[in-house]
């Protein structure tokens, strides 16, 4: 079930904190920059993976570190008004999150930013939302919409 809540993703009381990342080792803007500041150890491991793997090896995979998940669903950033999100990779990341939850705690809540992959990622929110509905059916997914 998908629930939309107003508030800061990083204030989620429990569960996994998931966000989309590129494969270049750069978390310079948006949710990714806040993630980098709040979780420096996960950021270091993310940079290590990006510098030691090609994008093809990372796309569609997740980095799980403590309660955080970096979803490699974007090769690089090619500018505004361009779809930077790889929908197939995004779907594969969602499947990995489900597999992780099944193995570790089937009652885990999944927290993501509202509009994941559609902001700086440039993806079509309707396509991404459909993927979220399909892949997380039967799981608790909270989409956090940051209040202005």
**pTM as predicted:** 0.93
**pLDDT (0 to 100) of residue 143:** 98
What's phi and psi for 125, nearest 5 deg?
-60, -35
pLDDT greater than 80 at residue 136: yes
Q: Read off the pLDDT of residues 69-124 as tens digits, 9 standing for 90 and up.
A: 999 999 866 666 778 899 999 999 999 999 999 999 988 999 999 999 998 788 99
The CATH classification number of 2-145 equals 3.40.220.10
- Give the pLDDT of residue 61: 97
> pLDDT, tens digit, for every residue of 10-60?
999 999 999 999 999 989 888 889 999 999 999 999 999 999 999 899 999
Residues in the chain: 148
- Residue 5's pLDDT band (cuts 50, 70, 90): very high
The answer to whether 121 touches 20, Cβ cutoff 8 Å, is yes
Sheet containing strand 62-65, edge to edge, reads 2-6, 141-145, 110-113, 16-22, 68-74, 62-65
């Amino acid at each position: 079930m998908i629930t939309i809540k107003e508030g800061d993703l990083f204030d989620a009381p429990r569960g996994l904190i998931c966000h989309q990342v590129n494969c270049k080792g750069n978390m310079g803007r948006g949710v990714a920059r806040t993630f980098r500041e709040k979780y420096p150890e996960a950021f270091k491991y993310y940079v290590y993976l990006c510098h030691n793997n090609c994008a093809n090896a990372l796309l569609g995979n997740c980095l799980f570190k403590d309660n955080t998940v970096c979803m490699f669903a974007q090769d690089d950033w090619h500018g505004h008004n361009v779809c930077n999100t790889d929908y197939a990779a995004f779907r594969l990341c969602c499947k990995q999150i489900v597999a992780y939850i099944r193995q570790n705690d089937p009652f885990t809540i999944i927290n993501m930013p509202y509009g994941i992959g559609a902001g700086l990622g440039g993806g079509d929110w309707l396509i991404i939302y459909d993927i979220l509905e399909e892949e997380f059916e039967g799981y608790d997914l909270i989409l956090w919409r940051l209040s202005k």
